[in-house]
Structure 1
């Protein structure tokens, strides 16, 4: 395999009135009200950036915040080559959302973000907020992002997040560097991770067919009530040697 394959989906869900989630996959972005599964292939040339953003529920302009953040990332990520570049880009996106939010009608808007930047030898995983990134390797699913969320009495993350893009104070992005070893990745908003069990997500990604995995995630999320907008991207990346 010498290309990056992506299967993506975003949807309003069964309760919310508008979709405050948004996806950025390479140069493609989407914030559909009614989702359909989209499959894409991209050149394995670095950098390749994919991200999911979840506009803050209950805040003014949440749908705008996610679009603004991903638009900023799309602009600045074309020349990313190091983890520091990713950090700087996230700070620029935070400032962009903050400035748009100075409009009195939009004050307080914000968004989470979680994604990956594929480089020649590594994959940079990044997040701010509680949208998630999982690595997928031979059917084994592992969360590799870090939830910015207050924990409950049993140590589980709640829906109350501790940082987001659009805040006045400087953000502290979570950045981890992973070898480009052929592992795949699942990006998702908490409309997926909050509705599905860890076992359910593992079962969904065990299939080698992205279309089947996507349908399993969509069906499980809707059967659980789809109380929030829900978005995800399944990404297959060739190893460093295979992609050259």
Structure 2
């Protein structure tokens, strides 16, 4: 498994309310540097991005708590129902923290992929997107919990997040366990780079170039929000599956 991961406070915000998770490793650094990891595929293999509610007190805590719960529970994931149950429970954990008077209003998105022995589970709550990249073509798999503008673009007003009082309804997509590339990011990336920008970036065959393009373009556009992404490259698993 080859993973590229990055999280950064951006050029305007004072703290990083994003957090990323790669196979149990959680990061929430202020000054990001691109990290490339070659990891053994041990299932379930989970990568995720969380975007704490911008402008809300405790957004950094919300994203960190959410990914910590996901990291602790995901070793038991086998099915989409397992993933959904964890996200519903994670909502309660984040909401419980927000009961504190100083932390009221906190919340976070969560989006990612889980590779199991049987397939790939894409999950999200909120507006952090998950894309597949196939032959240079970008396709969004996640479903944005957003209010959309007149041009059909998602706004920064979201319709559900982890930490809300009512139960969440996680979005799940179940895909075959096949070779492929997946990109998940906070809206510090997807809200700054246009769909055309992202489509142009993923046409590059080298994933290091793709990652560096995302970083450079986001910063050139002002990086007014925290910005984070994880790129997961899944190799051809057929031979290992047959051997197993």
Q: Which TM class, normalised by the smaller chain length?
A: over 0.9
Q: Is the CA contact (8 Å cut-off) linking 1:120 and 1:240 kept in structure 2?
A: no
In structure 2, C-alpha distance between the alignment counterparts of 1:53 and 1:175, rounded to whole Å: 16
Q: Confirm or deny that 1:94 pairs with 2:91.
A: yes
**What's the CA shift for 1:243?**
4.1
Shift of 1:103: 1.3
1:178 is aligned to 175
- The Cα of 1:176 is off from its aligned counterpart by 0.6
Aligned counterparts of 2:92 and 2:39: Cα–Cα separation in 1: 29
TM-score (norm 2): 0.96
Provide the secondary structure at the position in 2 that maps to 1:116: strand
Deviation at 1:141, TM superposition (A): 0.7
Larger deviation: 49-58 or 116-125?
Answer: 116-125
Structure 1 segments, 4+ long, off by >4 Å, are none
Query: Where in structure 2 are there 5+ consecutive unaligned residues?
Result: none
Q: Which residue of 2 aligns with 1:107?
A: 104
Match of 1:34 in 2: 31
Residue 128 of structure 1 contacts residue 165 of structure 1 at CA under 8 Å; is this kept in 2?
yes
Of residues 217, 224, 234, the one that matches 1:227 is 224
Unaligned runs of 5+ in 1: none
Match of residue 117 from structure 2: 120
Count of residue pairs the alignment pairs up = 241
- How far the C-alpha of 1:121 sits from its partner, in A, is 3.0
The offset of 1:179, in angstroms, is: 1.2
